[in-house]
A and B are shown apart, each in its own frame.
Chain A
Amino acid sequence: MLKYVIKRVLMVIPVMIGVSIIVFSLMRVFSPDPAPIVLGQHATQESITTWRHANGLDAPVINQYFTYISHALKGDLGTSYYTKSSVAREIGARFPATIELAVAAILFATVLGVLLGVMAAVKKNSIFDAAGSLFALIGVSIPIFWLGIMLIMLFAGFLHILPSGGRINVMLEPAHVTGFYMIDAAIQGNWDGFKDAGWHLILPALTLGMYSMAIITRMTRSSMLDTLGQDYIRTARAKGISETKVIGKHALRNSLIPVTTVIGLQFGALLGGALLTESVFSWPGIGKYTVDSILKSDFPVVQGIVLLVAVIFVTINLIADLGYAFLDPRIKYSSKKEG
């Protein structure tokens, strides 16, 4: 097990190198020169040259890369070209919003997904099964930005019962402690703020969690069906245990193992992949920031975010894999050959 952990941790290194090289080269090949964007309408050739030199952009790309990596290893992600403030600070200011949204989305996806999945499996080939599968199919096929826009139009534009975007009514915004508005508001006893933050979360969380919900529904259904066909379930039923107990205690627990992995991976994806949802809902997280920064050729910011997301993704993958081994004692990660 330990060996496996070490091996998996070491594998992070080539992944990170690969990611950093890819993002570094993509930005430099496909993005327009940041100098005119940063310096504006009155930029002169001279000021552009000075600026490029000051930001090391006149050095060979290879040297730029090594300079960047050596700084990044020391924890210095550089300074945003556009706002001139530290990339780590800029990301730090936006990351809690992304986490808050991802947590809400994954909660929604998990609760609803597991529920629908179990229903579908237990009542196989019934109307529930069909409804659950249809819902899951819609969930995986519907384009996120379209869903977001439709929800906004319906709940904010037509019914006027939910806000169209943003995180909170600014006048109710709690002082930043953790950066998670619902938690901050609760700590400070600001219940109006707590509620308002919650209302703002509903539509983006639904939108963002829809795809994961569908995946979790499908996974739960198939895993549950698998389990329900096992001998021990038949035995449990034969023993006269109530159906609720059979499903809730014996079947569900065992079928949740693969579902847990999927939830973990989905959560990782949500943390880094909310570009569309955040843009549609003006959610001030790193997804929207990534889009804005790409448009402005803000190399240090884009690189910083991609590295961060890669680290998160790799870590969550790792945890999910290890958790899998932990939850299911039959799975052993050993370098020793079986036999």
Chain B
Amino acid sequence: MKRNVRSLALVLVVALCVAALAGCSASSGTKPTASAPTFKDTFTYAQGADPRGLDPALVDDGESSKIIVNIYEGLLKYAPDSTKVEPALAESWTISDDGLSYTFKLKQGVKFHDGTDFNADAVKFNIDRQLPPKVTADMGYAGFVFGSVKDVVVVDPSTVTINLNQKNTAFLANLAMSLAAPMVSPKALTDGNNSVMEAPVGTGPYKFVKWSKGENVVLVRNDDYWGEKAKTKNVVFRFISDNSARVLALNNGEVDMIDGIDATVVDKVTQGGDKLFEAPGMNVNYMAYNTTTAMFKDVAARKAVSQAINVDELVKSLYQGYSEKATTILPTFVPGYSADVQQVGYDEAAAKAGLAAAGIKKIHMIAYTNPRPYNAATGVALATAIQGYLQKVGVECTIDTFDWTTYKAKVKEGNYDIAFYGWIGDNGDPDNFLNLLADKDPSMNIARWQDPVYIDMIKKGLQTANGPERDAQYAAMEKYVAERAIWLPISHAKTLAAYGPKASGFNYHVTGNVFLSKAVVGQ
């Protein structure tokens, strides 16, 4: 028996050696590099997936966008903590009296990473490729950003005029976007057959080095950058699809910052000695009444239902602090937000009376089964909570649930009294949120509300120059919608990220982009 035990020990030792050898013939007892201290000249950021590509005109996803903002710049940019627009590659701009011509004075001496000059011709080239006849169906944001552009005129090498077909104040906000708007080297585009998906060339603080598919994108500091040079030499974007695995990589010191985490892994982040970053999100999660039904044509009926729902309590219990209660449709940092707007408040007694007066006993809801960026708890969880509130006031709700793709089709069909939806802002302009309620397309305007006065207000908003007057117009629109209880705004989901104790200096912007030119990792 003793011999057997000794032999067994031998076998186990051999097996372990073999296991190590099979994986790696170099396990000579050296410390693995992965656990070595992070390179101080490299900042590693982990996200859930590869970018779709790195040509800002040809992509529409957040994963691409985060990398793009570190390589490219547009004519304008957002302020670090809001969606107010500021100069970037354009030093200044003037708007003609009729609001149709925008003339930009460009920064001089700026070069693309390939050494070519950034100038008015480059601006024209970049916009022209996204206008008819050159624009293609797969340029997802061309229509949104440049849809109102008539033509682009080069005045001189550092001056360019963009003429619009109609007044559109949101155009300035569009130019600060990370999709479609960033300036790409015309030479790179010409060489790459009108695509720089895998070979991006911009003017930004970082230059593209390589993209190992499924693994990482590596960027290196642009030492010829016109502005303040990036602090860390290399930036690596790693792709780790699983949320928990991403947290583990952070805890293990393999990466310095991660995004796309949710409430379920928050504890693991802090337990691992890492820090949580919460940014307000540019989104809204809402419930909409189908204003074309006999039941909800009537504003009193809509108000009565809204009164039955304790939004405050609901948001706290459903989202556990990772969403803020929405008091308006606009997130607080978007110009036009007003703290004075009052939604229909929670009042159970008034709800009962109102529902009885309107004769409402049954409500048909539809909801989506999956989490959405603005609603981590899923549409069904939200609908069920609301069903509970309505039951308390004697209204019976039926909920039909569908996966997201089917749900969108059902919304389009319009066979519901109440539906749930949300919106992720594109450009930080108030019009981007509030025009949903004026849209003719019922898959956008799911309340199916068409109010001529409101539509007119939206039109005016687009024609007013940025400033206090315009902000007041959007506050008035919010009030107009709130008084009519078209939607019940529920919440704004926060953007969650996590970072290592030695990482700092990054700017996780409200648009969901992360600017890393000032990011550093301590030794």
- The answer to whether A binds B is yes
Q: Which residues of B contact A202 (CB under 8 A)?
A: 19-20, 23-24, 27
Q: CB-CB contacts of A79-95 with B at 8 A, as 1s and 0s? A: 00011110000100110
Q: Which residues of A contact B216 (CB under 8 A)?
A: 166, 170
Contact yes or no, B22 A104, CB < 8 A: yes
With A199-B24, A202-B24, A280-B242: A165-B249 Cβ-Cβ less than 8 Å: yes
Q: Which of B22, B138, B241 neighbours the largest number of chain A CB atoms within 10 Å of its CB?
A: B22
Of the four ranges (under 10, 10 to 19, 20 to 34, 35 or more), the interface on chain B belongs to 35 or more
Q: Which residues of B contact A206 (CB under 8 A)?
A: 19, 22-23
Is B424 part of the contact surface with A, judged by Cβ < 8 Å?
yes
Contact yes or no, A196 B49, CB < 8 A: no
Q: Which residues of A contact B408 (CB under 8 A)?
A: 36
Contact yes or no, A195 B24, CB < 8 A: yes
Q: Chain B's nearest CB lies how many Å from the CB of A59? A: 17
Q: Which residues of A contact B33 (CB under 8 A)?
A: 169, 172, 192, 195-196, 199
Contact yes or no, B213 A104, CB < 8 A: no
Question: Could you tell me the distance between the alpha carbons of A158 and B291 in the complex, rounded to whole angstroms?
Answer: 56
With A166-B215, A200-B34: A115-B14 Cβ-Cβ less than 8 Å: yes
| A positions within 8 Å CB-CB of B | 32-33, 36, 38-44, 47, 50-51, 54, 82-85, 90, 93-94, 97, 104-105, 107-109, 111-112, 115-116, 119, 126-128, 131, 149, 152-153, 156-157, 160-167, 169-173, 182, 191-192, 194-203, 205-206, 209, 279-285, 288-289, 292
The residue of chain A having its C-beta at the shortest distance from the C-beta of B58 within the complex is A84
Question: Could you tell me the distance between the alpha carbons of A38 and B61 in the complex, rounded to whole angstroms?
Answer: 10
Is B140 part of the contact surface with A, judged by Cβ < 8 Å?
yes
Q: Which residues of B contact A292 (CB under 8 A)?
A: 49-50, 241
With A112-B19, A167-B215: A153-B248 Cβ-Cβ less than 8 Å: yes
Q: Chain A's nearest CB lies how many Å from the CB of B418? A: 23
Which stretch from B4-12, B88-96, B354-362, B449-457 is at the chain A interface? B4-12
Is B353 part of the contact surface with A, judged by Cβ < 8 Å?
no
Contact yes or no, B15 A116, CB < 8 A: yes
With A163-B32, A164-B254, A165-B240: A152-B7 Cβ-Cβ less than 8 Å: no
Q: Chain B's nearest CB lies how many Å from the CB of A45? A: 9
Question: Could you tell me the distance between the alpha carbons of A282 and B23 in the complex, rounded to whole angstroms?
Answer: 17
Q: Which residues of B contact A289 (CB under 8 A)?
A: 213-214
Contact yes or no, A127 B241, CB < 8 A: no
Contact yes or no, B15 A112, CB < 8 A: yes
The residue of chain A having its C-beta at the shortest distance from the C-beta of B14 within the complex is A115
Q: Which of A108, A109, A166, A285 meets B240, CB within 8 Å?
A: A166
| B positions within 8 Å CB-CB of A | 4, 7-8, 11, 14-15, 18-28, 30, 32-35, 39, 42, 44, 49-50, 52-53, 58, 60-61, 137-138, 140-141, 143-144, 195, 197-198, 212-216, 218, 234, 236, 238-242, 244-245, 248-249, 251-254, 405, 408, 424, 426
The 10 closest A-B pairs by CB, nearest first: A198-B24, A284-B214, A108-B22, A202-B23, A163-B34, A40-B60, A40-B140, A196-B33, A50-B137, A284-B215
Q: Which of A51, A173, A288 meets B138, CB within 8 Å?
A: A51
Q: Chain B's nearest CB lies how many Å from the CB of A290? A: 11
Contact yes or no, A83 B23, CB < 8 A: no
Question: Could you tell me the distance between the alpha carbons of A321 and B118 in the complex, rounded to whole angstroms?
Answer: 63
Q: Chain A's nearest CB lies how many Å from the CB of B378? A: 18
Question: Could you tell me the distance between the alpha carbons of A85 and B140 in the complex, rounded to whole angstroms?
Answer: 17
With A104-B22, A108-B23, A164-B252: A128-B15 Cβ-Cβ less than 8 Å: no
Q: Chain B's nearest CB lies how many Å from the CB of A26? A: 17
Q: Which residues of A contact B253 (CB under 8 A)?
A: 160
Can you identify 7 A-B contacts, CB atoms within 8 angstroms? A83-B197, A108-B18, A156-B252, A160-B35, A165-B240, A169-B33, A200-B34
Question: Could you tell me the distance between the alpha carbons of A282 and B240 in the complex, rounded to whole angstroms?
Answer: 5
Question: Could you tell me the distance between the alpha carbons of A172 and B20 in the complex, rounded to whole angstroms?
Answer: 21
